[in-house]
Amino acid sequence: MIEVTGLAKRYGAHRAVDDVSFTVSPGHVTGFLGPNGAGKSTTLRMILGLDVPDRGRAIICGVPYRTLDAPTRRVGALLDAPAAHPGRTARASLRILAAAGRICPRRVPEVLEQTGLAHVANQHVGGFSTGMRARLGVAAALLGDPEVLILDEPTNGLDPEGIAWMCTLLSDLAAGGRTVFVSSHLLGELERTLEHVVVIAKGRIVADCPINDLTHDDEPEIRVLTPDAAALTAAVHSAGGRAEQVAEDEVRATGLSRREVAELVNTHGVRVLEMTSRRSSLQDAFLKLMARDAQHGPDRIDRCSEESR
């Protein structure tokens, strides 16, 4: 488990992180989301003991990272772009890391296989594509078979097949009981993988909840194909909803549930060719959250209850 309590960090006059608190539990994938400059990387660096907080603390498995016994076997981390000497092979790079972390060398071929790099194990890293380097960084994080994984933008450089592989890997690792904490901008690709999200903006936490709570929308958009578009638009307005006729035979309604729109259709005898509803995606919810934060500030944004954590 990762526990962050009251973390704060300034760089000169810039307040990078301000009173940040959250918990990352094992058994599911937790996303760490936020716009550029929100404080994600600074928070991750403080969790891993690379930056010293001005106040607050971060502990992993009950203690600060710097006091962990055999930290590379307890925590696997990938921050920024993975670094490896271009003149070394993938196998040699991982062997060096294994020796430095007192990790059994038998783990090297295992993680090469796990990350899809076994066939290029003897190739020099300098010839690797961006995606292959990303896989090598993940292999390095997995080398100690850690119980906690902290990954910053692990899908950078991966093609669609690689992103799908990464999502499956993260889900499998979490299903095995590991704590998986992932920072990423690729919200659409990770939406089906994340189970919990921590959202940061301007150095402060603005959401900490299950992903379904964030994407739940009481006002889904209802799309109706109908030759009676004008009649349906008027009916939705009369019921207190909002409707827009976007084409001769298409109405998009909000402010009412799908059931309420269906009842209006029956009541007013509107002919319907098709009716669909669309709820917020993770990206939609994220953008709405950022807009609310810009308008009201983080103190006006609801946090999830303890029961939903």
Using DSSP's 3-state secondary structure scheme, residue 137 falls into helix
DSSP 8-state class, residue 89: B
**Can you name the residues that pair with 63 across neighbouring β-strands?**
60
- Examine the domain organization and report whether 255 and 199 are in the same domain: no
**SS3 letters for 32-48?**
EECCCCCCHHHHHHHHC
- Which one, of 136, 143, 175, lies nearest residue 157 by Cα? 136
> What pLDDT is attached to residue 297?
60
> What pLDDT is attached to residue 218?
55
**Parallel/antiparallel/unpaired status of strands 179-183 and 148-152:** parallel
Is 288 inside any structural domain? no
- Examine the domain organization and report whether 107 and 245 are in the same domain: no
Q: Which residue has the tokens 């379904």?
A: 212
- Examine the domain organization and report whether 210 and 232 are in the same domain: no
For 13, phi then psi, to 5°, come to -85, -10
Number of structural domains found in the chain: 2
**Can you name the residues that pair with 77 across neighbouring β-strands?**
150
- Examine the domain organization and report whether 96 and 227 are in the same domain: no
* Per-residue model confidence as pLDDT tens digits over 43-68: 999 999 999 999 999 999 899 999 99
- Examine the domain organization and report whether 251 and 142 are in the same domain: no
CATH of the domain at 225: 3.30.70.100
- Examine the domain organization and report whether 171 and 77 are in the same domain: yes
Is 136 inside any structural domain? yes
**Can you name the residues that pair with 30 across neighbouring β-strands?**
181, 196
Is 293 inside any structural domain? no
Other beta carbons within 10 angstroms of residue 276's beta carbon come to 11
- Examine the domain organization and report whether 99 and 10 are in the same domain: yes
- Examine the domain organization and report whether 209 and 226 are in the same domain: no
142: which 2 tokens? Answer: 């997995």
- Examine the domain organization and report whether 264 and 186 are in the same domain: no
- Examine the domain organization and report whether 200 and 72 are in the same domain: yes
CATH of the domain at 59: 3.40.50.300
- Dmax (CA) for the chain in angstroms is 75
128 neighbors 85 (Cβ within 8 angstroms):
no
Of 168, 190, 215, which one is at a domain's C-terminal end?
Answer: 215
Low pLDDT (below 50) residues in the chain: 299-302, 305-309
* Per-residue model confidence as pLDDT tens digits over 169-202: 999 999 999 999 999 877 777 888 999 999 999 9
- Examine the domain organization and report whether 204 and 60 are in the same domain: yes
Domain that holds residue 273: 221-278
Is 62 inside any structural domain? yes
> What pLDDT is attached to residue 16?
94
Is 11 inside any structural domain? yes
